[in-house]
Amino acid sequence: MSVIREVKQRLGIMELVSEYVTLQKAGRNFKGLCPFHSEKHPSFFVFPEQQTWHCFGACGTGGDVFSFIMKKEGIDFGQALRLLAQREGIAVGPLEAPARAAPEGEEELFRLNEAAAEYYHHLLLSAKAGEAARSYLARRKVTPETIKEFRLGFSPDTWETAKNYLLDKGYEGKELLGAGLILEKEGGGSYDRFRNRLMFPICDIQGRVTGFGARALDDSLPKYMNSPQTSVFDKSSILYGIDKAKSSIRKKSAVIIVEGYTDVLTAHQHGWQNVVGSMGTSLTEKQVGLVKGLTNNITLALDADLAGEEATLRGRAILAHSNAEAEVILLPSGKDPDEVIREDAALWRKLVEQATPILDFVFQSVISKVDINKAKDKSLAVQKLLPSIREIKDPVQKLHYLQKLARELRIEESTIRAALREDKAAGRSPKLDRPVEQSRLARGLGSSPIEEHCLALLLQYPELRALAGGLSVEDFECTENREVFAKCQYSSDVSGLETELDASLREHLCCLVGRVFPPGIGESEGTRRSELGYCILRLKEKSYRKLETEKETILEVEREKGGISSELSKLQEQGIGSAQQLREVFEKKGKRQWIQPREKA
C-alpha cells in the first residue's frame, strides 16, 4: 500500500480539521469559521461521509486532508505527505532526487533565517513601503520598543526583492527554497513567498530564528501564513515568544498560553512576560513538553464561545504529561487577550487569578449540555469525558475525577471503571479514538478509481489531452490526482512530467502509467475517446452530486435559522445543474452508452 493511501486510511478529515477549527453539527455534516480567511458567519463545511471539506466563502475551494494541510501550513504536497505520515507514525522511505534541496545543515538554515529577519526588520523601520505595516501596529498600540524587542518586520509587495537581497548576500537559490523563503514557478524561476505582510520572526527557546509568521496587510488570502516545515521549523513544536518568556516563566513558575502573535506582544508590553502563543493551533504534546522544562503550571486563555471544545482538545495534550497542572482563563465573548489587556488591564489580572482547573471546566462544559435524566445523554457525557480521565497520570487525581463523573451523572463508580477498562482493553488513545463508521469510510476513500482511470488514459494516450479541456483540477477530489492532472497539462510526455512532480508522487505516477485497461479500450482511437468521454461525464456528475449534497446541507442549516445564506446564494448564482439534468443532456446527444451502469474501472 502506498504511503498516500495509508495516510488517508488512518487519518480522518474530522480528526485533522478539528485541530484547527471548532466545528458545529450541521445536519449530517459539520460547519465552522473558515481558518483561511476572516469571517463572522461560518462558511466552512466538513463532509465526513466524503472525507472532504469546502469553503463557500471567500476561498471557494475544498479538498481532502492533504489539500487542507497544504493550504493551512503553506506547504506543497510532498511536505504535507511527510508531515501527516510522521503524525500518524507511518514510515516514509528515502526519496530519490528530492524536488527541493534543503541547506546542508541546520546552522545554515538558522543563519539564513537570521539574515531574512534582519532584512524584514530594517524595511519595517525604515522603508517608505513599510508605512502600512507601521500604521497597523500603531492602531494595535504596539510600541516601538516591542517592535524592536520582537524584531517585527515587513515584506514588500514585490515578487523578487527579498530573494535578490539574499542572493546578493551570498546565499543560493536552493537554500532559499529549502528555508521556504521563496517558491518555484511552474514555468521555471522563483519568487518571494511573503509579500506585503507584517512579519513575525518565530524563534526557538534559544532565540534562533526558525521561521516566520506573516499577516496580510490587504485582502490577500490566507490572512495568516507560516513558513513551511523544515528541519528547524515545526509549527507543532514551537511556541511564539518562548525565547522572551522563558526567564519570567521560570521565575513565576507559570506560563499563560494564548493564540495570536499580537496577544503575546500586548501581554509582554503590559508586564505579563510569561505569556507565549500557540499560533492559532490546538496545543500539542510537543509544545507542552517544551514548557514543561520550565514549569508544571499551564494556563490557557480561551474564547468563551469556543472554550468547551478547545479545552477538551488542549487538555488531553497537557494531561498526557505527568504532573502538569492546567487552568483555563475564560475570556469575555468575542474578545481576545490583546483586546482585554489593552481595554482593561485590571480585568485581565482578575481573569488570570480566577482561572479554573481545566478538567473541572471541561466537566462543567460537557455536563451542562446534557440531560442527566436521560440514559443516552449520560452515555454521551461518559464518551466525551473518559478520554481525558484516561490521560491523567496521577492515580489520586484520576480517582478524584472518576468519582466526580459518577457523582455528576448519578451513576455507580463501578460502571465508570468498567467503561475505562473496556477503553484500555480496546487500546484506544485520544489520537485514534474516532468512530468506527468514520474509519470504515476512510478506508473506502483512500483512492478514486474513476479519477485514476481518467488520468491513466491521459498519461498513456497523450493525444487524448486535447479532449479534456472541460476538466479542471476541482473535478479531482484526491489531492494526489489534482497534482498529477495540474502538472500533466504542461508536460508533453511522462518523462517531463516526472521531473516536475515531487518525489513523493512518482510512485503514484508509475501506478497510473502502468495501469492495465480492460480488454477493448486500447484497441482503437474511437474506443479510447469514448472511454475518456465516459470518464469526464462521471467526474462532472460526481462534482455536481457533491454540490447538490452541499446545497442540501446549507439548506438544512438555514431552515433551522429561518433564512437563506450567502453561501447558498453563491451556489445558486453558479447555476449548478443537477446530476439528472447532466444525464438528460448526454441522452439527447445520443451518448446514452456513456452513462449506463457499469463496473468500476
Report long-range pairs for 129-138 (Cβ below 8 Å, ≥24 apart): 129/154, 129/156, 129/157, 130/154, 130/156, 132/196, 132/217, 133/198, 133/217, 136/198, 136/217, 137/198
Residue type, 413: E
The sign of the CA dihedral 281, 257, 85, 499 is: positive
CATH superfamily of this structure's domain 106-233: DNA primase, catalytic core, N-terminal domain (3.90.980.10)
pTM tops 0.75, yes or no = no
> What is the fold of 3-87?
DNA Primase; Chain A (3.90.580)
Mean pLDDT, the chain, whole residue set: 80
pLDDT tens column, 388-439: 788 777 788 889 989 999 999 999 988 888 888 876 555 444 332 333 333 3
CB 105 within 8 A of CB 54: no
Quote the pLDDT of residue 192.
Answer: 96
pLDDT at 168 over 90: yes
User: Does residue 37 register a pLDDT over 60?
Assistant: yes
Matching fold, domains 106-233 and 365-434 = no
Mean per-residue pLDDT for 349-374?
A: 88
Distance CA 16, CA 11 (A): 7
162: confidence class by pLDDT, cuts 50, 70, 90: very high
Q: Could you say which architecture CATH assigns to the domain 242-354? A: 3-Layer(aba) Sandwich (3.40)
Domain 365-434 has CATH 2.60.120: no
**pLDDT of 198 higher than 80:** yes
Domains of the chain by residue range: 3-87, 106-233, 242-354, 365-434, 449-595
Count CB neighbours of 375 within 10 A.
10
Tell me, what's the pLDDT at 312?
55
**pLDDT for the residue numbered 565:** 52
